[in-house]
Amino acid sequence: MSRALLALASLLTLAAPGPAQPPQTFSEQLAVREREIVVDLPDRLKGSRLAPRDFQVLVDGQPREVTRAEPVSKEGPAPWTVLVYVDRGMASPGTAFYSTLSLAGHARELAGLGAVEVVVADPDPRPALPPTREARKVEEALAGLANENRVQRDRSRTEAPPPPSEAQARRQLDKLLAFLGSRHPAGPHALFLVADGGASQALEAPFRDASQRLAAAGWVAVALAVRGDDPGRPVSPRSEADVFQETSAWSSATNGPPPPLTSHPPNPGALAFPRVVDLATDPKLAPLQKLASATAGTVIGYDVQLPTLLAELPRRWTVWISEPEAPGNEGFHALRVRLPRKRAEARAPAWLR
Q: Residue 6 domain-assigned?
A: no
Q: Examine the pLDDT at 67 and tell me if it is beyond 70.
A: yes
Confidence of residue 246 (pLDDT cuts 50, 70, 90): low
Mean pLDDT of 5-13: 42
Q: Residue 325 domain-assigned?
A: yes
Indicate the average pLDDT of the chain. Answer: 85
Cβ-defined contacts of 243-250 (< 8 Å, 24+): 244/42, 244/345, 244/347, 245/42, 245/344, 245/345, 249/338, 249/344, 249/345, 250/343, 250/345
Q: What is the pLDDT of residues 254-284, one digit of tens each?
A: 454 444 444 344 444 445 788 998 999 999 9
pLDDT score recorded for residue 71: 95
Mean pLDDT of 38-55: 95
The full length of the chain comes to: 353
Q: Residue 267 domain-assigned?
A: no
pLDDT score recorded for residue 272: 78
Say how far apart CA 188 and CA 353 lie, in whole Å: 17
Q: Examine the pLDDT at 13 and tell me if it is beyond 60.
A: no
Opening angle at CA 189, ends 346 and 208, nearest 5:
70
Q: Residue 90 domain-assigned?
A: yes
pLDDT score recorded for residue 38: 97
Say how far apart CA 322 and CA 35 lie, in whole Å: 6
Q: Which residue has the higher pLDDT, 158 or 272?
A: 272
Q: Examine the pLDDT at 28 and tell me if it is beyond 50.
A: no
Q: Examine the pLDDT at 289 and tell me if it is beyond 70.
A: yes
Say how far apart CA 212 and CA 264 lie, in whole Å: 32
Q: What is the pLDDT of residues 87-125, one digit of tens each?
A: 999 999 999 999 999 999 999 999 999 999 999 999 999
Q: Residue 16 domain-assigned?
A: no
Q: What is the pLDDT of residues 290-340, one digit of tens each?
A: 999 999 999 999 999 999 999 999 999 999 999 877 666 679 999 999 999
Mean pLDDT of 128-146: 98
Q: What is the pLDDT of residues 160-171, one digit of tens each?
A: 678 888 999 999
- Domain assignment of residue 84, given as a range: 34-253+273-352
pLDDT score recorded for residue 45: 95
- Domain count along the chain: 1
Q: Examine the pLDDT at 144 and tell me if it is beyond 80.
A: yes
Model's pTM, two decimal places? 0.82
Closest CA to 310 of 47, 37, 114: 114
Q: Residue 15 domain-assigned?
A: no
Q: Residue 326 domain-assigned?
A: yes
pLDDT score recorded for residue 86: 98
SS3 of the chain: the string is CHHHHHHHHHHHHHHCCCCCCCCCCCCCCCCCCEEEEEEECCHHHCCCCCCHHHCEEEECCEEECEEEEEEHHHHCCCCEEEEEEEECCCCCHHHHHHHHHHHHHCHHHHHHHEEEEEEEECCCEEEEEEEECCHHHHHHHHHHHHHHHHHHHHHCCCCCCCCCCHHHHHHHHHHHHHHHHCCCCCCCEEEEEECCCCCCHHHHHHHHHHHHHHHHCCEEEEEECCCCCCCCCCECCCCHHHHHHHHHHCCCCCCCCCCCCCCCCCCCCCCECHHHHHHHHCHHHHHHHHHHHHCCCEEECCHHHHHHHHHHHHHCEEEEEECCCCCCCCCCEEEEEEEHHHCEEEECCCEEC
Mean pLDDT of 163-180: 94
Q: Residue 196 domain-assigned?
A: yes
